[in-house]
Amino acid sequence: MTDSTRPYGAQDPQHSSYPEPPAYPPQQPVTTAGGVTVWPGDGAGSGGDGGRPPYAGFAEPVPQPPAPRGGHRARKPVALLAAVAIVAAVVGGGSAALVGELTSRADRVSQSTPVQNASSRSNGGVAAVAKAVSPSIVEIKASTTSGQSTGSGVIITGDGEIVTNNHVVAGADTVQVVLSDGSTKTAKVVGTDPGKDLALIKLQGASGLKAAKLGDSGKVGVGDEVVAIGSPEGLTGTVTSGIVSALDRDVTVSKEQGQGQGQERQRRGVPQWPFEFGGNQYNGDTGSSKTTYKAIQTDASLNPGNSGGALINMNGEIIGINSAMYAPSSATGSGDSAGSVGLGFAIPVDTVKADLAKLRAGGGDS
């Protein structure tokens, strides 16, 4: 059979590279009633090319060669789709993990740290200590026949019991107390202990006051941070800070009346806040009647008027009652004080707690 008489699509035995003829004749294009010609292969899922005639330019459609035997061409798209799905899953999982981690980090960042006051953590800072304890610190103005003594005190009960130094109120005719809110109340002296330089006074008609928390001076260590609050030179609520410089310092103070510190007495040239340490006298003559106690030494700035105020640890607890300081110029008898030079002393709060019962009963050892 010649080429001219070979049936359409028949394979020439000598040209085995040609594909076998299709099992059915090619589909012809169909023209709809609206005049739209639909070519074979158009439609959803047909794999066509969007309605473009696949046989354009040919008078007679030429059949496309079928896929090779074995179905390799058919499996490749499936394998490709599977690979794409796996990659998408991996990328999607990684994205989810990344988003989850970022969300977790954002949650950790956005969580606000609870605000804690000074009494609930050890590193609240000076500002936290001052905020927590300042309402419990007062200014004391004790009037005597020789003038007015100005010092500080610590509220220890809600109804107005206040601990201060004996030398602040010794011989006082009247005692006025200025609270942290600026209000003034009259107080009476309940008991004094000149041997420990401690005194207890009580506000008249007071209630609902914020009492300070008394700590444990036995746990105080050298180098511990401390805060001092008092009324130096009548400046109510003054806050200073420093560290514990030493423990168990033997400090000797006068037990006599008229040796207390104060602004009026300073103007009259009377030595203020006299004490002895290491065999030397500071800030004037302590007199013949003396008492010695073990003190906490601090470099927190103390000045006249801090006497009877609080020395506080960083938990907001009272660890001492400030009682003595060294002022160089007043040691020479000058009426002007040069202020604190970082040598201050406080009566340990354990001494105060042990003496409270006696003070409430009217006094301790003289």
Two structure tokens written together for 138: 């007062």
Query: What would the pLDDT profile of 83-98 be if each residue is shown by its tens digit?
Result: 545 444 444 444 444 4
* Predicted pLDDT of residue 79: 55
Average pLDDT over residues 303-320: 95
* Predicted pLDDT of residue 226: 98
Query: Which of 81-90, 140-149, 151-160, 279-288 is predicted least confidently?
Result: 81-90
* Predicted pLDDT of residue 241: 96
Which of 246 and 78 is assigned the larger pLDDT?
A: 246
CA distance 238 to 306: 9
Of residues 152, 307, 330, 340, which has the active-site annotation? 307
Percentage of the residues of the chain whose pLDDT score is greater than 90: 42
pLDDT exceeds 50 at position 268: no
Two structure tokens written together for 125: 């800072």
pLDDT exceeds 50 at position 256: yes
* Residue 145: band (very low, low, confident or very high) from pLDDT cuts 50, 70, 90: confident
3 is catalytic: no
Average pLDDT over residues 144-154: 88
* Predicted pLDDT of residue 161: 98
CA distance 176 to 141: 5
329 is catalytic: no
* Predicted pLDDT of residue 91: 44
pTM of the model: 0.62
197 is catalytic: yes
Q: Considering only CA atoms, which of 151, 130, 180, 158 is closest in space to residue 262?
A: 151
Distances (CA, A) of 240 to 55, 130, 213, 298, 333: 97, 9, 19, 11, 26
Of residues 193, 197, 299, 350, which has the active-site annotation? 197
The residue to which tokens 């009026």 are assigned: 264
* Residue 281: band (very low, low, confident or very high) from pLDDT cuts 50, 70, 90: confident
Q: Which amino acid is at 181?
A: D
The residue to which tokens 């010794």 are assigned: 170
CA distance 143 to 150: 9
H/E stretch holding 151 reads: strand 147-155
* Predicted pLDDT of residue 128: 95
Residues with Cβ < 8 Å from 306, sequence gap 6 or more? 151, 152, 228, 230, 231, 232, 238, 322, 325, 344
Secondary structure (3-state) at 233: helix
Of residues 167, 193, 330, 340, which has the active-site annotation? 167
Residues with Cβ < 8 Å from 115, sequence gap 6 or more? none
Locate all alpha helices (DSSP H) within 124-225, ordered by sequence.
125-133, 166-169
* Predicted pLDDT of residue 96: 47
Q: Considering only CA atoms, which of 344, 286, 323, 298 is closest in space to residue 163?
A: 323
Query: Which of 30-34, 123-127, 153-157 is predicted least confidently?
Result: 30-34
pLDDT exceeds 60 at position 102: no
Percentage of the residues of the chain whose pLDDT score is greater than 70: 55
The residue to which tokens 């012809």 are assigned: 28
- CB 8, CB 2: distance < 8 Å: no
Average pLDDT over residues 319-340: 67
- Rounded to the nearest 5 degrees, what angle is found at the Cα of 9, between the Cα atoms of 6 and 15? 80
Which of 73 and 211 is assigned the larger pLDDT?
A: 211
Two structure tokens written together for 219: 């746990």
Two structure tokens written together for 112: 């606000």
